[in-house]
Each structure stands twice: as structure tokens, then as C-alpha cells.
A and B are shown apart, each in its own frame.
Chain A
Amino acid sequence: MKRYHRPLALLAAIILLLTGLVGSAQAETTASAEAKRLVVGVRADIVGFGYLNPTTGKYYGLEIDLADALAKKMGYAGAEYVTVTAGDREAKLASGEVQVLMACYTITERRKETVDFSPAYYDDYTYIIVQNSTLFSEPLDLKGLTIGAVAGANNDVSFRANMREMGLLEEEPKEPNFIFRYSNSYAELSEALEEGIIDAMCMDGSIAKGHMNDERNYFSKTLDSMQYGAATVKGSPLSAQVAEAMQALIDDGTVARLTDKWD
């Protein structure tokens, strides 16, 4: 009898271990797994990227799908989304409220000083949008008029440079030759354009899609081109992981597929 003891004990141990494993697998929705979700900051107001559907209360869009794929690639159970705005996204990233920013966040040299960017997952352009009823047909028509942009969205330095290139702006600032008005949100900006408070607005293509209608138009000449990347806190251990995972997603075609899906 005695010689069976050891195998029996071993068996019991295995059973215990297995039940334990099963138990933990079942408890996937509890706290331990929750902690394993990657917290991603997204823009809830941009349709097709990180839109928060008020009817369902869920986020949908390219950045949502991409964040989920990214999180899974990095070994997380998935992504958890936090709404950020153009104004507070850097702060939220810095405070650790979000681990990664995927919020139509353009890769710029200046931003690179404070955050780490993953390889770009989306190319975009900034368009100048006008109402048809203004009868403007080229950027030069806007000379001396009010152009609106969203505060914090982009540095107007490059805008100004580009506008100068277009001939929209005089050589050196002869204010108020040209007035730049800032709005807090894209919706507000769009409303201002509708009411005629501003004569044109600058908007990234991704965002503009949601604000175009039959009575609006954009100039074929774009103001700026940019690339969106996932941002992490400068020097954080996540940076390399995110960059690596993003590169993998770009390489295996996931990014292209998702872009196509939401385009």
C-alpha cells in the first residue's frame, strides 16, 4: 500500500493545481485581469477614430481597434479606453491616468522632446475648410480674413509658415492682417464656421470627415501633413514595447486592414 502514496499525493497535487488554474481562468473578469488591461487615451469626439457612441456607450473606430490589437500583442487582456481631449491629453499621459495615447496625436519634433512615439499608424493632412456661400475658391481669397483652429491641436508655427508659403500671410507679422481664432473643440469650431464667425477652419482630414456637409468645401491645397503615432511617457519601459508591437502590427498588415475598415 505504501508505495502508492507518493503517486497519489502527486496526483492530488496535480488536481489541486489544475482546479486552481481553472479557477483563476474563470475569474478572468475580476480584478487581477482588469489590471492587465492597457489603459489607452482616445478622442471620443472623432468619428472613425475613437468615437464614443452615445447610444451604446461604447467606443468605436480605428484607434479603438488598433489599441485593442496593440494591447493584445503586448500581452494584455485588451485595452481600456479613457476619453482625452486635445487640451488635456499630454497632462493625462504625464499623470499616468492613461498609459498610452492614441488620440489622433501627431508626431512632431517638439512633442518628441516630452513623449516617446511609436511608428506612425496613420498619415493625415490638414485641410482648410470653407462654406460654399462665401464663394471662396482658393486659399488666397482668405487673405486678411479669420481662420479658426482648435486650441492645442497643432502648433500654429508650422501653420503660419505654410500659410506664408501659400501667400496667405504677409512676410512678417503685420497683425491683425491675419487673425487666428482658437476654439476649444472641433464642434465649436465647426459651429463658428457655420455662423460665419470665422471664414475658414483648419482641420485634420481624419476629423474633418465628421464635419463636412454639402454646403462646405475644402481647398485641394493642404496646410500640413502629419502622421499619428501612439505616445507614451518619455523613457517609460512601455515605450519600447508599444513601438515594437506597433511595428509588428504595421508589418503584419493589421494597421492597413483596420485603416481600410474605418476609411
Chain B
Amino acid sequence: MTAFLVIVVVALFAITFWQLTKIYQLSRNTNTLDSSQIASDKDNRIQGNLLLAFGIAFYIFMLYNFWTFGDRALPAASSEHGVQYDNLLLITMAVIMFVQVITQGLLHYFAFKYKGKKGNKALFFADNDKLEFVWTIIPVIVLAGLIIYGLFTWTDIMDINEEDDPIVIELYAKQFSWQARYAGKDNVLGKANVRFIEGANTMGVDESDPYAMDDVITAEIHLPVNRPVLFKMRSQDVLHSAYFPHFRAQMNVVPGMITQFSFTPTITTDEINDTEYMRDKVARINEIRKSGNEARMAAGEEPLGNYEQFEYYLLCNKICGVAHYNMQMKVVVESEEDFNAWIAEQKEYSQTMETAAPATEVAQVEN
């Protein structure tokens, strides 16, 4: 209601303003013809110079951005296909920046060079087949290269090969959390459907399916390094998107169907924390937190803790509701031995259900 009133008041002010200017207008004669609102030679000179200055300033601004924010870009990929991804991105970016620098340069330079002056004659130049052919064919060739490289990489990434013996993991999304279900010793996921959701069975696993018995449900993902992993994704309510930025992996999670994405992690959590990039990043963030904490303490707020070490994560990247921004899961990449030790500690589905059985009748588990 207040908002509405404010709008009314603003509108009334606008009308007042309009009426006042009308009086102002009546008080003077505006009916004289003149060309004062059309660019004069002086305007052309000033604006032409400004356009050149802007062109140069724009170059500097772009450089500044690369210089100061360039290190915010994601680190080198931590997955096998990610190396190809990074390569393609680098090539594409180089092409883009090359074209950007040249075209912006020409545009602003021409705007400066050919600024108008009375008595100057423009060149009547309406057509030139050769020129147009050149700048049609050059994009064709460059794009053909990019398309071919891109398509080969795309096919590689999307070609899911079950013969490499990937670990099969189900990613289960709901407002606003993730769960993972490892396929277990038989590496086959038990059937599941939201219609089976009941009590402790929050993922709707089919309890009559023998393949389900050895499945392992976890709240974080652990992956052995250098072994392919195949994610099968299911959503319980709305669209989500499983986004693993560091592995160059993303796939939407769609209610009513199973989507999938496969990749091979190549850098363990420990290893990436040991890179110069990540040490700098963690140090930079701690610096920011520290300086922010002084202000927080002064304002009587709780100070933020230190950023101990970087962890891989999985984010939700498709708007899914109010807490969309806070829907993530930790991902750990570790050696085969560490992974085996971790998975051995986890409870299999059959065990989970046994311990949870008495509680089944106690109402719904709150999400």
C-alpha cells in the first residue's frame, strides 16, 4: 500500500512538473526556427575527439579487467575432458578478443577521423562485392574451424561409455539440497520413483528391487581420482541443474526423467589445494574476510571464520525456489585407497532401512 501511495505521489509530482514547464513555455517564445539543436562543426569536433578518447579508454578498461579480474576465472580443469574444454575456450577467446580489438579500434578511429566539417565531401561508396565477399568468407572459415573442434569435443563429452567401468552415482535433487546414491558393489542402481517416498525412504528407492540393497546414500560426493564417474540425475520437485564448475560439467535435473553426465576427475582435492592458483585464492579470500571482520566486530556482529581449504562443490544452477542460492554439495576427489576406505564406512541401503524401520511410521521426514 505504501508503495502504491508513493507511486501516486511521484505521478502527481510529475504532473506538477509538467504543468510548471508548460507555464515556463508560455512565458517565452519558442517559435523561432534555428538549427542550434543540430550538431555543428564544433560539436562534431568535440564528439569526434571524445569518441577516439573513449575508444582508447575502452581498450584500457578491457586490459584493466583482464589484469585485475583475470585471476578470478576458474582454475585449470580438474577433469579429463576439461583439458579439451579449456583449450577450446582459450582458442575461442583469442579469436574473439582479436576481432574485438580490431573492430572497436576501426569503429572509434573512423568516428574520430571522419568527423564532419562543413564543406567536406563524403565518399559515395555504396557497394563492393570483393570486400563483402572477403568479410563473409573469413567468418565462414573461422567459424567452420570452431564448429568442427567444438562438435568433436561435444561428442567426446556426451558419448557415455559404459565399457570404461564408470562408478555409477545417482544425484538426487530437491528443494534445496542434494543427495547422492552410489550404485554399490554391483554398480547397478536400484529402481526408484517419487511414488515410493515414505518415511526414511526419502529418495523413493524401490525396496523390492534387489539391486537397491547395496546402494549407498550419502550427503557428500567422494570420487576416486582418474576413474570415470557416471552421474544419473533425478529431481523430486522442480528443475535443478547439477553444476560442477571445476570439472567443466553441467546437466539439468528434470523431474520425470533421468539425465546423465559422465566425467573423469584428474586432480584430487589435496592436489588442487597445493597449486599456486588455489593458495593465492584462499589467501586472498582470507584477507578479505579478515578486513571485513574488523567492521563486523565493530558493528557487534559475529566475525566470519577462516577459509581453511578449498573444497570442490556441486551447485544448483537452475532457478529452483527461494533458497536456490544455497543449494550445494561438497565434492571430494581422493586416491583410490582413501575412497575405498570412505565408502566402506558408509551404510548400505538395506542397513539404513533396518535401523530406520521403527521410525517409518513416524510421520514424514522434513526436508
* Chains A and B belong together in one complex: no
A interface with B by C-beta (< 8 Å): none
B interface with A by C-beta (< 8 Å): none
